[in-house]
């Protein structure tokens, strides 16, 4: 993990303020002191070195000493995941962010374990993504979006693939932006499979049937397995 790295959703210039979970992490977990230098990222390719000017009960004030901007590659992989128990979603977000997934879409499947995510659960998942981004050293924060309908998975031009237990043998990730759709624990419904067969390509992720939280991780590993 990059030492003492923190996230601020802002341009990394001038003076910055750390609040919320990032302030808590700096003041109470890492116990950073006044005058110390830390790294700051904004999830949009920027990395800065900053000096801690003040720490109060509610925030920490920083002064940017230097910064750099890394050009970000176009998004390659969006994971479309059925709504499920938050503890499973948190595992997926953490591991797939580390492996390189560019975005996460949460959709309501016929056999979803949950119908929606509360504001608190959505915020918790975002914090998991931020933590994983900092932990693995990447400079881009994956986008998170909740879809209203299963059909909304196909509104964006891309290669659409889905985990299909009817298919055997390995697959090669296609070139260009891709949306990989994984199903809930009980699988896709007949209506969902009918639409998937029309709009997407079914592929085999593994010779065994994978759990709902394992399939997205396997799909991400397929796409980025050769990344160095």
**What is the distance in angstroms between the CA of the first residue and the CA of the last residue of the chain?**
17
- What would the pLDDT profile of 36-57 be if each residue is shown by its tens digit? 999 999 999 999 999 999 999 9
Residue 194 pLDDT > 90: yes
CA dist., res. 141 & res. 7, Å (int): 10
CA dist., res. 13 & res. 218, Å (int): 38
User: pLDDT band for position 89 (50/70/90)?
Assistant: very high
The pLDDT score that the predictor gives to residue 114 is 85
The structure tokens listed for 190 are 């007949």
Read off the DSSP letter of residue 150. Answer: G
Mean pLDDT of 73-97: 96
Q: What does the radius of gyration of the chain's CA atoms come to, in whole angstroms?
A: 20
CA dist., res. 47 & res. 44, Å (int): 9
- What would the pLDDT profile of 3-25 be if each residue is shown by its tens digit? 679 999 999 999 999 999 999 99
pTM for the predicted model, two decimal places? 0.94
Helix (H) / strand (E) containing 48: strand 46-55
Residue 1 pLDDT > 80: no
- Percent of all residues in the chain with a pLDDT value above 70, rounded to a whole number: 97
Q: Classify residue 13 as exposed, middle or buried by CB count within 10 Å of its CB (0-12, 13-18, 19+).
A: exposed
The pLDDT score that the predictor gives to residue 226 is 61
- What would the pLDDT profile of 117-165 be if each residue is shown by its tens digit? 999 999 999 999 999 999 999 999 999 999 999 999 999 999 999 999 9
Candidates 19, 61, 220; CA nearest to 136 is 220
- Percent of all residues in the chain with a pLDDT value above 90, rounded to a whole number: 90
Q: Are 45 and 71 in contact (CB under 8 A)?
A: yes
């Amino acid at each position: 993990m990059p030492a003492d790295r923190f996230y601020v959703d802002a341009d990394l210039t001038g003076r910055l303020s750390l609040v919320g979970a990032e302030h808590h992490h700096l003041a109470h977990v890492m116990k950073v002191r006044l005058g110390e230098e830390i790294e700051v990222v904004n999830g949009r390719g920027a990395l800065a070195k900053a000096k801690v000017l003040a720490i109060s009960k509610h925030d920490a004030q920083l002064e940017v000493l230097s910064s750099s901007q890394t050009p970000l590659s176009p998004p390659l992989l969006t994971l479309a995941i059925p709504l499920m128990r938050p503890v499973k979603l948190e595992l997926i977000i953490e591991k797939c962010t580390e492996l390189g997934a560019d975005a996460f879409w949460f959709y309501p499947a016929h056999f979803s374990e949950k119908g929606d995510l509360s504001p608190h659960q959505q915020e918790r998942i975002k914090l998991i993504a931020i933590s994983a981004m900092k932990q693995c050293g990447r400079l881009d924060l994956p986008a998170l979006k909740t879809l209203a309908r299963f059909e909304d998975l196909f509104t964006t031009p891309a290669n659409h693939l889905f985990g299909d237990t009817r298919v055997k043998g390995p697959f090669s990730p296609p070139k260009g932006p891709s949306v990989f759709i994984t199903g809930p624990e009980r699988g896709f419904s007949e209506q969902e499979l009918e639409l998937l067969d029309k709009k997407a390509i079914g592929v085999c992720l593994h010779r065994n049937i994978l759990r709902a939280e394992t399939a997205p991780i396997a799909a991400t590993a397929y796409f980025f397995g050769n990344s160095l």
